[in-house]
Amino acid sequence: MKYLIGTITIAALLFGASSAQAAVDIESDTTCCSFIEPTFTQEAGEVPRYVNPAGSDSVHNVTSAKRGSDGNPLFASKTISAGQSAPVEGAQYLADGTYPFICSIHSTSMSGDLIISGGTPQVRPKPQVSLAILAQKLKAVRKTGRLKVKVKGVTSASGISLTVSKGKKKLGSVSGISVAEGKSKTVSVKLTGKGKKAIENGKKVLFQVKATVKGGKPASAKRTLR
């Protein structure tokens, strides 16, 4: 009997803890364009789910009206059709407070508030990228005055700036780059007039490239081209 009571008590405690951690569903109305409630409340550290119910007459999403230090919305879901659901990523990093959100497609009429109360927020990872100078002929770089660099998002990142150098000499730079998590893009960095002169002689040149990321970690790479 004591064992049975103990088992029931533990199960009740576990069930209660699980219920307390259940993330909220943010749901839109079937008629465009509003959410079913003006506010949705959850504990910090949770990932809410956005639900676009069956019978909805439009595609929608949940997008934070505020942006973080990296320039991206604090939280957002994918845009989904009727009968679908999607996690609202980023909400797990929010501290206690009220956070307005919109459907970015119907921003003038479709809005609500996500209220965070209690719990412990997760630590938001800093935006990060990796770099690689692509294989290319030194002759081609000299002729075009451009160096091709591959930028890959370790996380989603925006406000990325690249600076190419040879030793302490700055050869060229570019800014305003954005990349999604797990995606790559090739950036052609234009060399300045002085930069082109700095590489016009020699059979090989050791290029260095550095990236600064808004609100995130820097990155670097180097490669010798012949």
Phi–psi pair at 100, nearest 5 degrees:
-70, 145
Nearest residue to 22 (alpha-carbon basis) of 3, 53, 2, 48? 48
Give CA–CA dist 195/190, Å, rounded.
9
Pair 159, 213: CB distance under 8 Å: yes
Beta strand pairing call for 157-166 and 205-213: antiparallel
**Domain limits, CATH 2.60.40.10, in the chain:** 129-225
Residue 89 phi/psi, 5-degree rounding, is -70, 140
| Superfamily (CATH H level) for 129-225 | Immunoglobulins (2.60.40.10)
How far is 61 from 26, CA to CA, in rounded Å?
10
- The segment(s) of the chain belonging to CATH 2.60.40.420 are 23-119
Q: What is the pLDDT along the chain (226 residues), one digit of tens a residue?
A: 444 444 433 443 343 333 334 678 999 999 889 999 999 999 999 999 999 999 998 999 999 999 987 778 999 999 999 999 999 999 999 999 999 999 999 988 899 999 999 999 999 888 999 999 999 999 999 999 999 999 999 988 889 999 999 999 999 999 999 998 899 999 999 999 999 999 999 999 999 999 999 888 899 999 999 9
Phi and psi of 203, rounded to 5°? -85, -15
Type and span of the H or E element at 12: helix 2-20
Give the span between the Cα atoms of 176 and 103, in whole angstroms.
25
Please give the order of strands across the beta sheet that includes 111-119: 39-44, 111-119, 97-102, 63-64
The listed CATH number (2.60.40.420, 3.40.50.920, 3.30.360.10, 1.10.10.10) that belongs to domain 23-119: 2.60.40.420
